[in-house]
């Protein structure tokens, strides 16, 4: 999705935009690679922009979707026990809006972590998932899944074959799609007159408050706010009826939308709009400040890592998250500073991290080879990881955390 040849325009409203910073050349965040593939590795310049018109925070350029989502996609949703619980709860909040005869469509359904809760209740469902390998896991579990990218044309086909849906749901995928107008047109085509749309994504407010710039990587075209979601769906006569902050992925927002004037609006919606104004999420100066904050965070983290190495101590990374690709590439963290990254995903084992080529090692080997320090790239899973790795601290290991601020634990 190259936006550079034409004039740089907002993906949502076509307004002219310009980047407020550049993160430099970035690889595909989930492209864990073999040594022989280093020489052909793909990079793109990662530049975020803020659209003054529709208030969307976005990437100006993005690799083609097929370069990121394919039959060897490295992220499996089911790797986190706590996320499994989170999606069970999410499904329960959807159940309040539907009944046993409803049809539910989820996009970005991955390995079926959400839809299994509907399949178990024998509720008619369909997952749309372009990454064939993760979709295969869902299908094996008996979850109806179509291997495809969602868009308006696909929505028409789904309606022809299944009728209209009562609920359209999505987690951590709406923000991945640059042709977002086609998605909302597809939703408009797909849902009933009294249909409900519920989706959640990493929240711009959290990114700004905590300087979690690692939420910015190739897959994340957008970081939404209530303001940007309102403007996007408003174009298609839909409105926010409720909104709920979530702790997942370092701070997310769940948006509830329906056709205008069909449902009551919870007062939480207005409260979030006010908070966003106070936080400056509608003001471009906030992003100028954010750029400075990113640079400061980078310098502070590098200083800590270099000081540790000067003392002759070892550092390993923990959890080869997509987010870690931004941290390592933007900060220039390679094997001079970090020996390897421990991770639970078999598909990543024996491979090297995108761009910085740090070896990825099975997490089971962590305990055989404790480093002096472990840099926690999976901070959003800290509860789960600390519980699993108690012994590391007991044996004198120290965690380096960089969210909400950079500090050393232990």
Whichever of 148 and 382 has its CB closer to ligand SAH, that residue is: 148
Structural tokens at position 299: 């310098």
Residue with tokens 């049809």: 103
CA distances in angstroms from 392 to 95, 194, 358, listed in the order given:
41, 52, 21
Identified binder of Zn ion from the candidate list 2, 18, 53, 299, rule CB under 5 A:
53
Identified binder of Zn ion from the candidate list 15, 35, 89, 367, rule CB under 5 A:
15
> By CB under 5 A, how many residues form the interface with Zn ion?
8
Q: How many residues does the chain have?
A: 410
Structural tokens at position 313: 């101590």
**Cα–Cα dist 358/307, whole Å:** 20
254 binds ligand DWN per the rule CB under 6 A: no
Choose one: 23-31, 34-42, 104-112, 300-308; the region binding ligand SAH (CB under 6 A): 104-112
**Cα–Cα dist 234/312, whole Å:** 57
Q: Which one of ligand SAH, Zn ion, ligand DWN, none is in contact with 349 (Cβ closer than 5 to 8 A by kind)?
A: none
Identified binder of ligand SAH from the candidate list 17, 74, 173, 257, rule CB under 6 A:
173
Cis bond before residue 404 (omega within 30° of 0):
yes
Q: Mask 162-201, x = binds ligand DWN (CB under 6 A)?
A: ----------x-----------------------------
CA distances in angstroms from 94 to 110, 124, 169, 196, 315, listed in the order given:
18, 13, 8, 9, 43
192 within 8 A of 163, measured Cβ to Cβ? no
385 binds ligand DWN per the rule CB under 6 A: yes
CA distances in angstroms from 202 to 16, 247, 296, listed in the order given:
25, 9, 22
Q: Mask 332-371, x = binds ligand DWN (CB under 6 A)?
A: -----------xxx--x--------------x--------
**Cα–Cα dist 117/387, whole Å:** 26
Binding site for Zn ion (CB under 5 A): 10, 12-13, 15, 51, 53-54, 56
Binding site for ligand SAH (CB under 6 A): 65, 69, 73, 75, 77, 107-108, 110, 113, 128-131, 134, 149-150, 171-173, 176-177
Binding site for ligand DWN (CB under 6 A): 75, 79-80, 172, 219, 319-323, 343-345, 348, 363, 378, 380-381, 384-385, 388
């Amino acid at each position: 999705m190259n936006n550079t040849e034409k004039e740089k325009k907002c993906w949502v409203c076509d307004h002219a935009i310009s980047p407020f910073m550049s993160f430099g050349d970035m690889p595909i965040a989930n492209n864990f690679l073999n040594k022989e593939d280093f020489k052909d590795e793909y990079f793109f310049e990662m530049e975020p922009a803020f659209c003054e018109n529709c208030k969307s925070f976005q990437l100006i350029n993005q690799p083609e979707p097929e370069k990121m989502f394919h039959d060897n996609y490295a992220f499996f949703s089911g790797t986190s026990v706590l996320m499994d619980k989170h999606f069970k709860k999410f499904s329960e909040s959807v159940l309040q809006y539907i009944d046993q005869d409803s049809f539910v469509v989820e996009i970005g359904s991955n390995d079926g972590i959400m839809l299994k809760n509907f399949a178990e209740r024998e509720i008619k469902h369909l997952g749309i998932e372009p990454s064939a390998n993760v979709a295969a896991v869902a299908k094996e579990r008996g979850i109806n899944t179509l291997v495809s990218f969602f868009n308006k044309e696909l929505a028409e086909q789904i309606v022809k074959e299944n009728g209209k849906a009562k609920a359209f749901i999505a987690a951590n995928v709406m923000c991945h799609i640059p042709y977002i107008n086609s998605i909302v047109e597809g939703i408009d085509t797909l849902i009933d007159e009294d249909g409900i749309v519920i989706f959640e994504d990493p929240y711009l407010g959290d990114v700004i408050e905590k300087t979690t710039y690692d939420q910015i990587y190739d897959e994340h075209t957008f970081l939404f706010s209530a303001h940007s979601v309102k403007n996007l769906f408003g174009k298609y006569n839909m409105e926010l009826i409720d909104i709920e902050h979530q702790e997942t992925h370092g701070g997310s927002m769940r948006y509830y939308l329906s056709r205008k004037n069909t449902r009551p609006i919870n007062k939480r919606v207005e409260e979030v709009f006010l908070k966003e104004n106070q936080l400056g999420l509608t003001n471009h100066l906030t992003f100028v400040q954010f750029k400075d904050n990113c640079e400061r965070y980078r310098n502070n983290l590098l200083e800590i890592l270099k000081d540790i190495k000067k003392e002759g101590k070892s550092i390993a990374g923990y959890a080869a998250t997509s987010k870690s690709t931004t941290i390592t590439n933007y900060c220039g963290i390679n094997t001079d500073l970090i020996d390897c990254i421990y991770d639970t995903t078999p598909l990543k084992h024996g491979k090297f991290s995108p761009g910085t080529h740090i070896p990825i090692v099975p997490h089971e080997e962590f305990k055989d080879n404790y480093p002096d320090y472990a840099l926690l790239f999976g901070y959003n899973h800290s509860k789960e990881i600390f519980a699993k790795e108690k012994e590391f601290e007991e044996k004198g290991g120290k965690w380096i955390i960089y969210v909400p601020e950079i500090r050393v634990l232990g």
